[in-house]
DNA sequence: AGTCGACTTGGCCATGTGACCAAGTCGCTT
DNA sequence: AAGCGACTTGGTCACATGGCCAAGTCGACT
């Protein structure tokens, strides 16, 4: 029989799996603060409040930590509160709102973007981790597609091109702006460029005819 | 009097400044081949065919090499043979040609893009090198502006928005596509997305009226 | 020819890193 | 209560790295 759960903050023995999660979280914190290079096994354990030996009890190697890190929710850009979309507003306006909502996530946590970039670069060089960036990008794009779909429905817009192709361009535009911004750190320019893209993307949409005035049959 | 120049490939003593250039070139080669992490001072010297001690005779520190590397022509994307532009063709078509010509540079030397990304990430974390990415981006954008200007003149197009804003979007689009492509490595998708952007950018142009048929006065 | 400074070389050092291990500790089960 | 297996811990190892140096070598100018 399993006894009553012991207070997790007090008990000495911690399940190896939860400890793994703690280490991953700690690693992400260190990387955001000081960069991926500073995230040594020791620094990560210190951040997690564990002795150094704990690391290789949880992970076979450091690569395994990288893999775990890449496999978790790194791409947080698209996970934001859904913006206020008004079906009666101009398409441009709604698109601008959408892009800006995603941009706000970037500006709120710029270090996350940097870490993501560092992590992807690392993985692209490591044969063991080489597949992960492709998988991550696919996941990210899928999420973008579903978000765009949802948006189009809510704004009552019809996309004149394939949704995936549309999302692909949106992702590229957002990614490009982020990339530039990480270097120049000029938020004004970034948002202006993003607004410019909103205008361009609007040319790929058409308002859905309102059926309430023209019921079928 | 300066004696006749000794054969540079034979003579033992090499000017420290040219040796610096040799090391920078060797470093870039190593980085492209094995990644920035593998470019240790030793590996670089070996690549350059020099003993390890030569490094710190030429550079005060490794950071100084990074700085030199970032300060040289890293952004080669826009330096390609000028594409064939036809003033009588559709704007979309010409824009597609332009973007594709830049893309070809990327696909020809993908490692260069990776190294650039790694280098920028490194610099963004290092207080000593922190200014370089912003400078690099400014330089890159300036070059893009001039290229766009040249292009518009040659294709006899008028841009309906500020040239710099236009270039900013082009740079972001190209950068975003590169970023995605580095992960998924699907050239077809990349070019299709780029072609999509060409269509969008075309909406920001208007043909310049041909004055030959309507001479002034 | 002689001198002086620029260049060359190999070796050395302190440091930090990922990895490993063996002894110890805890708590669930029987 | 006794045992057993999962978890804990600090120490240690081999190794690579950036940086430094002192002795040696070359070559240009006087």
List chain B residues with CB under 8 Å of A179.
172, 175-176, 179
Question: Cα–Cα distances in Å, from B104 out to A68, A134, A168, B29, B109?
Answer: 35, 21, 20, 20, 9
Specify which residues B207 forms β-bridges with. B157
Question: What are the tens digits of pLDDT across the range A25-45?
Answer: 999 999 999 999 999 999 999
Contact A55, A23 (CB under 8 A): yes
Q: Please, which residues 7-36 of chain A have a Cβ atom closer than 8 Å to chain B?
A: 34-35
What average pLDDT does the segment B180-201 reach?
98
List chain B residues with CB under 8 Å of A134.
183-185
Find the Å distance, CA of residue A132 to C1' of nucleotide D9: 34
Using 50, 70 and 90 to split pLDDT, how confident is the model at B96?
A: very high
Q: How far is A144 from chain B (nearest CA, A)?
A: 13
Q: In the block, which residue shows the tokens 């890293």?
A: B74
Could you say which architecture CATH assigns to the domain B91-207?
Answer: Orthogonal Bundle (1.10)
What average pLDDT does the segment B209-217 reach?
52
A25: closest CA among A50, A56, A53? A50
- pLDDT for A2 beyond 70: no
CATH of A16-71, one of 1.10.10.60, 2.60.40.2470, 3.30.830.10, 3.40.50.300: 1.10.10.60
Contact A186, B181 (CB under 8 A): no
Could you say which architecture CATH assigns to the domain B16-67?
Answer: Orthogonal Bundle (1.10)
Question: What are the tens digits of pLDDT across the range A170-196?
Answer: 999 999 999 999 999 999 999 999 999
Using 50, 70 and 90 to split pLDDT, how confident is the model at B75?
A: confident
d(CA B12, CA A171): 54
d(CA B161, CA B21): 41
Parse chain B into domains and list their residue ranges: 16-67, 91-207
* B60 in contact with chain A, both atoms CB, cutoff 8 A: no
């Amino acid at each position: 029989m399993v006894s009553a759960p012991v207070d997790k903050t007090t008990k000495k023995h911690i399940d190896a799996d939860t400890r793994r999660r703690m280490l991953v979280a700690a690693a992400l914190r260190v990387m955001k603060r000081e960069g991926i290079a500073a995230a040594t096994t020791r620094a990560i354990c210190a951040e997690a409040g564990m002795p150094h030996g704990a690391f290789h009890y949880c992970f076979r190697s450091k690569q395994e930590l990288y893999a775990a890190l890449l496999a978790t929710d790194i791409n947080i850009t698209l996970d934001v509160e859904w913006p206020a979309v008004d079906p009666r507003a101009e398409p441009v306006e709604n698109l601008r709102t959408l892009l800006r909502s995603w941009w706000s996530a970037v500006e709120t946590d710029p270090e996350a973007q940097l870490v993501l970039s560092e992590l992807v670069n690392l993985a692209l060089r490591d044969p063991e981790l080489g597949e992960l960036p492709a998988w991550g990008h696919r996941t990210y794009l899928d999420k973008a597609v579903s978000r765009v779909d949802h948006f189009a429905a809510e704004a009552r817009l019809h996309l004149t091109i394939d949704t995936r192709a549309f999302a692909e361009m949106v992702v590229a535009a957002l990614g490009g702006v982020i990339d530039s911004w990480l270097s120049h750190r000029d938020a004004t320019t970034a948002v202006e460029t993003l607004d410019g893209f909103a205008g361009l993307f609007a040319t790929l949409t058409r308002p859905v005819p309102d059926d309430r005035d023209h019921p079928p049959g």
